[in-house]
Amino acid sequence: MGNLSIVTIVIIVANVLISYKGFGDYSFFEKYKFNIGGIKRGEQFRMFSSGFLHVDTQHLIFNMLTLFFFADVVIQYIGSLGFVLVYVGSLILGSLLSLYFHKNEYHYSAVGASGAVTGILYSAILLRPEMSLYMFFIPIPIPAYIFGIGYLLYSIYGMKNKADNIGHDAHFGGAIGGYVITLFLANWLFQENLLMIGLLAIPIVLLFVLKRMGKI
């Protein structure tokens, strides 16, 4: 990991420049953040532009570090164009799921590349489910597919309880984007790892079952 390709550099630089513009320019931040009221007024560009804004430097660094660690895995398997398709598609799907879950909350707002980055993370897990991930608070390696499933189950918990200020729905929508677009681009996975495709689909199916049941 850590092989920075030109597309990864461009995306990171775009996030840094646009985020820092937002840090110092309140009107710019307000104009381009994800906001239900603004989107309903016809400002659909917010669903894309909000993915390049961040709340603060810590938020920005965390997302860009995650992108840095997993970008080259995705590029290695599906190429730079595939990587860009996963990134942008996950960003949009993250915003669409947020819109779906918060459509009646006129003042709901959000920013961050988390949806796009989670899409890249889930894509990397789908492509390399056997790789090990290390978490700050767990001293032993975790198989990537267990981390991916656990992360989405945690996101469902967060969406259900609404006890924090994290955009769990955008993360989940991004993961769906990473999952679907990667399978479309790397359909050989159906022959090589059908079981893993099924396992990683479990939390996605669960979310929509719970939503249909009115549990979320």
The number of residues in the chain equals 216
User: How many separate domains does the chain show?
Assistant: 1
Q: What is the mean pLDDT of residues 53-82?
A: 95
Q: For residue 38, what is the domain's CATH number?
A: 1.20.1540.10
1 assigned to some structural domain: no
153 assigned to some structural domain: yes
Range of the structural domain that residue 103 is part of: 6-212
41 assigned to some structural domain: yes
105 assigned to some structural domain: yes
Q: List the single range of 53-57, 152-156, 171-175 with lowest mean pLDDT.
A: 152-156
State the pLDDT confidence band at 161, using cuts at 50, 70 and 90: confident
Q: DSSP letter string over 144-203?
A: HHHHHHHHHHHHHHHHHH--SS--HHHHHHHHHHHHHHHHHH-TTHHHH-HHHHHHHHHH
Query: What pLDDT score was predicted for residue 1?
Result: 43
Q: What is the mean pLDDT of residues 148-174?
A: 88
State the pLDDT confidence band at 135, using cuts at 50, 70 and 90: low
CB 119 within 8 Å of CB 86 = yes
Report percent pLDDT > 90 for the chain.
82
132 assigned to some structural domain: yes
Q: What is the mean pLDDT of residues 118-131?
A: 95
Tokens 């099924």 map to which residue? 198
pLDDT at residue 27 greater than cutoff 50: yes
Report percent pLDDT > 70 for the chain.
96
199 assigned to some structural domain: yes
Chain-centre distance for alpha carbon 145: 16
pLDDT at residue 198 greater than cutoff 60: yes
Query: What pLDDT score was predicted for residue 137?
Result: 60
